[in-house]
Amino acid sequence: MNRLLKSILSTARIPLGMLLIITSLAACQVGYRQQAAKQEGPVYDKLRVRMKTLEYFYNNDQNDSLEAAVPEYMENCKNHRQWRLYYLAWNLLGQSYAFAAEYDQANHIAHAMQTDGQKRGIALGQVKGLALLAMIASLQNNYEEAERYWHEAIDTYDPEYGDRSTRMNLYYRLTETQLLKEAPVEQVDSALKQWKTVLDEEDPDKEIDIWQFNYYNTLVDYLIANHQFDDAIAAIDSAELYPAANLPSNKMNLIIDRSTVHTHLHHNSEAMTCLDKHQHIIDSMKQAGKQVSNQHQINHDGVLHALLAQMGRYQEAYAIKLRYDSLEKVMADIATRQQQMELNKHYDVDEMRRQNQQLQQRSRFTTGGVAMVLGIIAMLVFLTTSNRWRHTLEVKNRQLERERNVVVAQNRQLAVERDRAETASRAKTAFLQSMTHEIRTPLNAISGFTQVLAMTGLNLPENERQDFSNRIQDNTRLLTNILDDMILISNMEGNNALPQAEPCVPLMMITGATEAIAQQVAKGVTIDSQCNIPAEETLMSHPRLIGIIISKLLDNAAKFTKQGHITLSLNREADKLHFAVTDTGCGIPADKSEAIFERFTKLDSFTQGTGLGLSVARMVAEHMGGTLTLDTNYTGGAKFDLIIPYTANA
């Protein structure tokens, strides 16, 4: 599309913001026909003058001044029942938040305007609120939601309390949004027909002429997008009949539209004539010292490149393509810088002010130190030789450099700590959300089966009752394991100190672990243990923590082994204990050997469990100074290796 609507809407604040202000001001000038007498007079004139101050703040990005002035202005409008100006000022504040990417505050204002308009019975307030919501959605490239809000605003519009400009703007924005989201032809065609019907119902005047031009201008974009080039030429001819077509920007856009159509129709001579005329206007404006948007040159070069390629003039087309790409990159860089400036301006203001105060305090301290050094140097000039003076100066310079490096390092550390805190906060939120989901599943099962068992008059067969009871026990055990894992994770993350080592018998550890898991293995699966350390030998380690790891590994093996056997073995390697849990289950792909240790990771989403077991096991192992890994060379199922340091019993 020749005016690159998507790029303009997402990156350029001024065209969209100015159009919204112009249409809102037009609403103030012509709306409320039945209440016009109430809106005129000295009070209205004074408020209109003050409104220009608010518009100045808005147009010059003085958002702090706008935010401070709007509440008092709205209160004055409310006291004098000047509702048009009241909603216009409120809408300006909402738009300023939206363009500054402060979408939460903009959404709050939009919903508040809707509620306020509904309470007062003034449709304009509701319409302005819906229009602001649509604009917010468009800025976030959510065109489906924006289209829905434009439709709601059109349905809410009430001619008795509205005005023509507001109504026209709603149809204009609806069709523009539909073109941006590439809506079906039938939808755009329907919206354009409704808009034209509304235009034809109005008495002709200067204001309606402007909207007639906007209608045909939008219709041209629609027809070109749908390759209806003959109709597009007729629409361009109609648009040029209105005075607004003589404005330089509109005139150049229509010329580009016409050259685009001629190019598609292979009217190469006519297309080149239009492009020469367009370039002449650009050059004339630049020679006159007038500012010309790069977008006009980009539009020109885009059509010219296609035309030259179509004519077989490939070398010239390539040169134009290079200029086109360069200009597009410039526009993209400008848009990126504007977005970055907005983000930097509104990012964590309180924290930045606090850091600025700290830097100012350090600066004052450093300035005082510099003054002291200079005084000492001045005294040394008179009291010492030049060699000693130079030596002293070098020492002081190194000291100042060290102090500066300390300040720089502190600033970097502050940034690192801030990023670390934000990362931790996001991780905490994700963890709580996942745990809430995992806890709710067994709770729902326990609650459901318990209610069935508690129902009076329901005669369940004994085997079903026993099955329900077993399910309640299984989910209770699952819920207990989840809570135990949460407590263990909390303890591991909050306390880095290991408990004091205590004596333990290796043979008893692995024997107890296999006996504890024996009831959970599938029918026909055997489980055994192998200990290559003398039965009477005692070592110093942390048997409780080792037991937690082994139980997680055996539980994992029992869950995925449906036939064959599970083996727990223990060997001594220098000053370390090497536990190995081997099974004949389905195995784990080598490329998932690390992913399985991440929290809430489950290779089979239908298998019971939270995906915390292996993550907790590795966390405990690393807390003890050991390692837990998957042996990717083992192909008979899965094999986990746990290596834990120990000390001999004195």
155-174 per-position pLDDT tens digit: 888 766 556 677 777 878 88
Q: Tokens 């410039």 correspond to what residue? A: 330
Give the amino acid at 316.
Answer: E
Helix (H, G, I), strand (E, B) or coil at 561: coil
Rounded CA-CA distance 22/383 in Å is 74
Strand runs labelled E in 67-148: none
pLDDT in tens, 302-332: 888 888 888 888 888 788 888 878 777 776 6
Structure tokens given for 88:
């216009």
pLDDT at 111 over 90: yes
- The domain made up of 5-177 has a fold known as 1.25.40
Give, in degrees to the nearest 5, the angle at Cα 619 between 615 and 623. 170
Q: Residue 37: its pLDDT value, please?
A: 34
- Tokens representing residue 26 in the block: 């037009």
Are the C-beta atoms of residues 67 and 349 closer than 8 Å to each other?
no
Identify the residue with better confidence: 277 or 494: 277
pLDDT value at residue 495: 63
Residue 371 has pLDDT above 80, yes or no: no
> Where is average pLDDT lowest: 29-33, 277-281, 443-447, 520-524?
29-33
List residues bridging with 570 in a β-sheet: 531, 579
d(CA 268, CA 275): 11
Domain ranges of the chain: 5-177, 247-347, 348-497, 502-648
Highest mean pLDDT among 13-17, 183-187, 313-317, 420-424: 313-317
Which pLDDT belongs to residue 25? 37
3-class DSSP state of 635: coil
Per-residue pLDDT reduced to its tens digit, 351-363: 555 555 665 666 5
- Of the candidates 177, 191, 190, 126, which has an alpha carbon nearest to the alpha carbon of residue 153? 126
Contact, 563 vs 522, CB < 8 A? yes
Element (H, E) at 568: strand 565-573
- CA 250/CA 618 separation, integer angstroms: 66
Q: Is 99's pLDDT higher than 90?
A: no
Residue 439, class by beta-carbon neighbours within 10 Å (0-12 exposed, 13-18 middle, 19+ buried)?
Answer: middle
348-497 to CATH, choices 1.10.287.130, 3.40.640.10, 2.40.30.10, 1.10.10.10: 1.10.287.130
How far is Cα 638 from Cα 629, in angstroms, rounded to an integer? 11
Residue in the structure block whose two tokens are 């997402």: 10
pLDDT score for 30: 37
Please check the confidence at residue 420 and state whether its pLDDT lies above 60. yes
462: left (phi over 0), alpha (psi -120 to 50) or beta: alpha
**pLDDT value for 470:** 77
For residue 258, is pLDDT > 70?
Answer: yes
Q: What is the pLDDT of residue 93?
A: 92
Residue 194 pLDDT grade (very low, low, confident, very high; cuts 50, 70, 90): confident
| More reliable by pLDDT, 136 or 430 | 136
Pick 294 or 255 by higher pLDDT: 255
Give the pLDDT band (50/70/90) at residue 628.
very high
Q: What is the pLDDT of residues 142-158, one digit of tens each?
A: 888 888 888 888 888 87
φ and ψ at 647, to 5 degrees?
-125, 145
Q: How confident is the model at residue 209 (pLDDT cuts 50, 70, 90)?
A: confident
Q: Which amino acid is at 40?
A: E
pLDDT grade, residue 410 (50/70/90)? confident
Closest CA to 11 of 175, 141, 198: 141
- What is the total residue count of the chain? 650
Q: What pLDDT does 73 receive?
A: 92
Closest CA to 623 of 601, 595, 645: 645
- DSSP conformational letter for 538: -
Measured between alpha carbons, how far is 239 from 256 in angstroms, rounded to an integer? 13
Please state, in angstroms and rounded to a whole number, the distance separating the CA atoms of residues 533 and 571. Answer: 7
Q: Is the pLDDT of residue 9 over 80?
A: no
Q: What is the pLDDT of residues 448-504, one digit of tens each?
A: 778 777 777 777 788 877 877 877 877 787 777 777 767 777 676 666 677 788 888
What residues contact residue 143 under an 8 Å CB cut-off, 6+ apart? 137, 177, 178, 180, 181
Strand partners for 628: 642
Long-range CB contacts (within 8 A, 24+) of 44-47 = 44/80, 44/82, 44/85, 47/73, 47/76, 47/77, 47/80, 47/82, 47/85
Beta bridge partners of 399: none
Torsion angle of C-alpha atoms 529, 618, 431, 493, degrees rounded to 10: 120
- Predicted confidence at residue 607, as pLDDT, reads 61
Query: Which band of pLDDT confidence, cut at 50, 70 and 90, is reported for residue 603?
Result: low
Quote the CA–CA distance of 112 and 7 in Å, as a whole number. Answer: 30
d(C-alpha 564, C-alpha 574), whole Å:
32
Question: If you ran DSSP here, which 8-state letter would residue 12 be given?
Answer: -
Average pLDDT over residues 585-594: 87
Architecture of the domain spanning 502-648: 2-Layer Sandwich (3.30)
| 3-state SS class at 457 | coil
State the pLDDT at residue 20. Answer: 39
3 pLDDT band, cuts 50/70/90, is: very low
By DSSP bridging, strand 647-648 and strand 627-630 are unpaired
Q: What is the pLDDT of residue 36?
A: 35
DSSP state of 497: P
Q: Mean pLDDT over all residues of the chain?
A: 78
| Residue 563 burial (CB count, 10 A) | 11
Which helix (H) or strand (E) covers residue 520, if one does? none
Indicate the helix (H) or strand (E) that contains 611.
none
With H, G, I as helix, E, B as strand and everything else as coil, classify residue 530. strand
Distance (Å, whole) CA 616 – CA 548: 9
Tens digit of pLDDT for each residue in 514-544?
888 888 888 889 999 899 888 788 888 888 8
pLDDT at 627 over 90: yes
Residue 211: pLDDT band with limits 50, 70, 90: confident
Q: Lowest-pLDDT range, 20-29, 81-90, 223-232?
A: 20-29
